[in-house]
Amino acid sequence: MAKLTFQLYGSPLEVEAPLPTGTITAAEFLPLVHAVVSAVVARSAERVEAGIGGSPGKPITCAKGCAACCKRQPVPTALPEAEALRALVDRQPTARREELRARFEEAARRVEEAGLGPRMRMEIASTPEQARVAVQEYMQLELVCPFLENESCSIYEDRPMACRMYLVTSPASLCTDPLGQPVEVLSMPLRPITALMAALEELGFSPQHTVPLTLAVPWADAHREAAEQQYSAELLLKTWLKHLSRRIAPGAAGAG
Ligand code: SF4
């Protein structure tokens, strides 16, 4: 285990995370990233619930059984996460694996049919306007996450970073139309997904982009060689931390 210390909002945030060693794939780096994300999300939620800068506290309205954000919304998924999900699906018993794969194939077919495939690949440099227009069209397809079962996440411990970081303080009913309704999404002080993509780009695995989670498994299937690329764990950690520290929201501080 490694102990990482982040200076966030004027106080240290210590995170115990599994430290990868030797040579690893980017997917094998995710447990460390997830530990950091969980700690950062918890700190951000505490601050909002307690009230910030004189503003009254606001409760987080996300709750088990509310799966509004698992339906319609494109959950941005980076290739290492897609590869981790592919491996998770392929570890399932045959019937479950086939069911999940059929859901992914159906989602991919519908996205391609709508001509949205290339436009849903969000690169680091995608502009907010490009993203907004593509997301609007994607949401009209009303695709449901293949891992959603009875309004609950069936892979909660393994869910991607975007799922971990999406918390709201507005009424849950607004989340069915996040572009048209005043949904209050908790702003996060760090951008770990973008930092990971930037780190992988720097280490020669480029260009990086995300796809919606509904397309993740077929995407990982089609990019096995890239997903299996090996990195020095130490170098990947250093490079990720460097890019993470460059992506800190104003008002928060650096990573150490
Ligand atoms: S992985 Fe889980 S939390 Fe994320 S969108 Fe799918 S069902 Fe929802």
Residue 65 has pLDDT above 90, yes or no: no
**Ligand 1 contact, 159 CB (< 6 A):** yes
For the chain, what is the radius of gyration of the CA atoms? 18
Helix axes 79-90, 94-113, angle to 10 degrees: 140
DSSP type of residue 255: B
Say what the pLDDT of residue 81 is: 96
Residue pLDDT, tens place only, 121-143: 877 556 778 778 888 899 999 99
CB 3 within 8 A of CB 15: yes
- For residue 251, being part of any structural domain is answered with no
**Ligand 1 contact, 216 CB (< 6 A):** no
From ligand 1's centre to the CA of 70, what distance in Å? 5
Residue 155 has pLDDT above 90, yes or no: yes
Which residues are within 8 A (CB) of 24 and not within 5 positions of it... i.e. 6 or more apart? 230, 231, 233, 236
From ligand 1's centre to the CA of 163, what distance in Å? 6
Q: How confident is the model over 88-117, as a mean pLDDT?
A: 96
Residue 9 has pLDDT above 90, yes or no: no
Counting Cβ atoms within 10 Å, is residue 209 exposed (0-12), middle (13-18) or buried (19+)? middle
Paired strand residues for 123: 209
73: Cα within 13 Å, side-chain hemisphere: 19
Helix (H, G, I), strand (E, B) or coil at 176: helix
Say what the pLDDT of residue 204 is: 84
pTM value?
0.91
**Ligand 1 contact, 153 CB (< 6 A):** yes
Query: Which letter, b or e, does each residue of 54-91 get, where b requires 16 or more Cβ atoms within 10 Å of its Cβ?
Result: eeeebeebbeeeebbbbebbbbbbbbbbbbbbbeebee
Residue pLDDT, tens place only, 195-241: 999 999 999 866 788 899 999 999 999 999 988 999 999 999 999 99
d(CA 53, CA 220): 43
Token pair listed for 42: 């918890």
Residue nearest to atom 4 of ligand 1 (CA): 163
pLDDT band (50, 70, 90) for residue 118 = confident
- For residue 53, being part of any structural domain is answered with yes
From ligand 1's centre to the CA of 165, what distance in Å? 11
Paired strand residues for 12: 7
Residue nearest to atom 5 of ligand 1 (CA): 70
**Ligand 1 contact, 163 CB (< 6 A):** yes
Which residues are within 8 A (CB) of 112 and not within 5 positions of it... i.e. 6 or more apart? none
From ligand 1's centre to the CA of 125, what distance in Å? 25
Q: Which helix (H) or strand (E) is 5 found in, with range?
A: strand 2-8
CB 71 within 8 A of CB 147: no
- For residue 93, being part of any structural domain is answered with yes
Query: Which letter, b or e, does each residue of 232-246 get, where b requires 16 or more Cβ atoms within 10 Å of its Cβ?
Result: ebeebbebbbebbbe
- For residue 250, being part of any structural domain is answered with no
Give the number of domains in the chain: 1
- For residue 45, being part of any structural domain is answered with yes
From ligand 1's centre to the CA of 10, what distance in Å? 32
**Ligand 1 contact, 78 CB (< 6 A):** no
More confident position, 254 or 238? 238
**Residue 158 CA, closest ligand 1 atom number:** 1
Say what the pLDDT of residue 53 is: 66
pLDDT band (50, 70, 90) for residue 251 = low
- For residue 253, being part of any structural domain is answered with no
- For residue 169, being part of any structural domain is answered with yes
Residue 255 has pLDDT above 70, yes or no: no
Average pLDDT of the chain, as a whole number: 89
From ligand 1's centre to the CA of 177, what distance in Å? 17
Say what the pLDDT of residue 253 is: 59
From ligand 1's centre to the CA of 147, what distance in Å? 6
- For residue 222, being part of any structural domain is answered with yes
Token pair listed for 197: 């993509």
**Ligand 1 contact, 75 CB (< 6 A):** yes
Phi, psi of 209 (to 5 degrees): -155, 170
State which residues form the domain around 75.
Answer: 2-245
Counting Cβ atoms within 10 Å, is residue 51 exposed (0-12), middle (13-18) or buried (19+)? exposed
